Structure 1
Amino acid sequence: MADVLEASGKTVEEAIASAASKLGVTTDLLDYKVIQQPSNGFFGLFGAKPARIEAAVKAQPAAEKKEKAAKEESLEPAALAADAESVEEQAKIAEEFLRDVFSAMKLDVKIERGQSEEGILFQLIGENLGILIGKHGQTLDSLQYLANLAANRGISENRARIIIDIENYRSRREETLVRLAGHLAEKACRIGEEVHLEPMNRHERKIIHMALQDNRRVSTYSAGDEPRRYVVIAPKRRRRSRRNYSEPRFDEE
């Protein structure tokens, strides 16, 4: 037998099951040879011996292997189609949830669905939608969080990622944060002290960190506890000022 391994158990059957588990096959696909029968020993206390076998996976004929490979290949498109159908259903649930929210708020909102690098994008279009954005996008983030909960309720795998945006607010906010990071980095270097930004969510803190990661004059880290966690920009010439070195620079990954 090729690729032989040894397995043991209280009985021959247990040894066979152990070998099959180790080889990743079912017991009917196993070739084995018993090299030691089990023994209870003297009064079941002394000299007891387990069952020991040598086992290997049965050799499969070439035709059988080819048929098995063909079946596996035929399953892949079906699995992909099932995943796509599942995500589509989750997207519909998220959209229905949003329409119910807007109806309850008596808001006339058009929902345009698209795709982004991060996931399924719902672009909201309408008049006076600032109420859905909130201060620094907090309301928009909460709405997005709830839509994801609704879409993925009871699902542990292939979870949909729902992104909600209003008139490209998220890209405009990112541009604002990148400019802010640059201005405050200059300020930190000018005054020679750390600059503390206002509390931000995890995504926005990451934008600040990434915007300054190649800046040789400053370093960044996050401090405080959620939901009031914030970014600190520190000039490198005073890295020992107040920085807690136990915190990683990029803690938002």
Structure 2
Amino acid sequence: MDFVEAKGKTVDEAIFKGLEQMGLSLDEVEIEIVHEGGKGIFGLGKNAVVHLAKKQPVQAEKGAPEAFLSGLFERMGVEAECAAVEEDEKALKIEITGKDTAVLIGRRGDTLDALQYLTGLAVNKGREDYKKIMLDAENYREKRERTLEKLAKRLANTVAKTGKPITLEPMNPYERRILHATLQNHPRVETVSEGEEPYRRVVIRRKRRES
């Protein structure tokens, strides 16, 4: 049953009766209050009337990610546009351009990552086949990757010389993987991740000599 009209002495009672008829919970329906009840003509009581409709799963359609992001940009009050630049069955890459891209990137890409996460949730809602969403702006992802690679090599040289481990600031899993991959074949240092998300950090330390 996808739709019912329910009546009761109060709106709450009418909604409860409708949910019972449909066999659904409150978060599974859309509710329209037709009449709140109260006294009618000659002081006679008048029932509350509500319409309950089952929520339908949202299927991601072509253009849906861009429309979702455009709506977010409007609510945030930023001037930006987005367009799909690469797409296959498993992934969709979207490029953001415009006046306020710096705001959308945020500190160390935090805002961009949050937008990417929210867009992924919206696009994959109701889908059986998960599609990965990748957002970029002003080529930030590649620039950040190059910066982390340079940082890893510089700090590795410091650790190799001093013997003292260095613990970096918390990073997301993607950025930690870049550090690990950059130094995985280094002859004198190694990397490990320590701590719990979202405060997990990479530690660069000198390799232990084999006895």
**TM-score, scaled relative to structure 1:** 0.56
Query: What SS class does the counterpart of residue 233 from structure 1 fall into?
Result: strand
State, as a whole percentage, how many aligned pairs show the same letter.
41
Inter-partner Cα distance in structure 1 for 2:209 and 2:117: 39
Inter-partner Cα distance in structure 2 for 1:216 and 1:189: 9
Q: Spell out, residue by residue over 1:133-169, the C-alpha distance to the aligned partner (whole angstroms, 9 max, x if none).
A: 11110110000000000000122x3211111100100
The answer to which structure, 1 or 2, has the higher relative contact order (CA under 8 A, 6+ apart) is: 2
Inter-partner Cα distance in structure 1 for 2:61 and 2:189: 43
Q: Which moved more, 1:144-153 or 1:92-101?
A: 92-101
How big is the shift at 1:90? Answer: 4.6
Conserved in 2, the CA contact under 8 Å of 1:220 and 1:234? yes
Query: What SS class does the counterpart of residue 214 from structure 1 fall into?
Result: coil
Larger-Rg structure:
1
How big is the shift at 1:172? Answer: 0.2
User: Aligned match of 2:95 in 101, 109, 123?
Assistant: 123
Inter-partner Cα distance in structure 1 for 2:184 and 2:87: 24
**Which structure has the highest strand share of the two?**
2
User: Aligned match of 1:103 in 74, 83, 88?
Assistant: 74
Inter-partner Cα distance in structure 2 for 1:96 and 1:165: 16
Conserved in 2, the CA contact under 8 Å of 1:112 and 1:122? yes
Inter-partner Cα distance in structure 1 for 2:150 and 2:180: 12
How big is the shift at 1:190? Answer: 1.2
Return 5+ residue gaps in structure 1 as ranges.
1-87, 240-253
How big is the shift at 1:204? Answer: 0.3
Q: Closer, same or farther in 2 for the Cα pair 1:176/1:116, shift >3 Å? A: farther
Query: Which residue number in structure 1 is paired with residue 125 of structure 2?
Result: 153
Query: Which residue number in structure 1 is paired with residue 50 of structure 2?
Result: none
Query: Which residue number in structure 2 is paired with residue 228 of structure 1?
Result: 199
Query: Which residue number in structure 2 is paired with residue 178 of structure 1?
Result: 149
Q: How does 1:18-167 map to 2 (within 5 A)?
A: 89-90=60-61, 92-115=63-86, 119-155=91-127, 157-167=128-138
Q: Spell out, residue by residue over 1:67-123, the C-alpha distance to the aligned partner (whole angstroms, 9 max, x if none).
A: xxxxxxxxxxxxxxxxxxxxx945522211101001112222121211179821111
Conserved in 1, the CA contact under 8 Å of 2:78 and 2:100? no
Inter-partner Cα distance in structure 2 for 1:110 and 1:226: 32
Query: Which residue number in structure 2 is paired with residue 194 of structure 1?
Result: 165
Conserved in 2, the CA contact under 8 Å of 1:91 and 1:151? no
How many pairs were matched up?
151
Inter-partner Cα distance in structure 2 for 1:238 and 1:152: 48
Letter in 1 for 2:118: L
Return 5+ residue gaps in structure 2 as ranges.
1-58
Letter in 2 for 1:194: P
Conserved in 1, the CA contact under 8 Å of 2:194 and 2:203? yes
Query: What SS class does the counterpart of residue 135 from structure 2 fall into?
Result: strand
Query: What SS class does the counterpart of residue 63 from structure 2 fall into?
Result: helix
Inter-partner Cα distance in structure 2 for 1:206 and 1:159: 22
Inter-partner Cα distance in structure 2 for 1:234 and 1:227: 22
**TM-score, scaled relative to structure 2:** 0.67
Inter-partner Cα distance in structure 2 for 1:181 and 1:91: 40
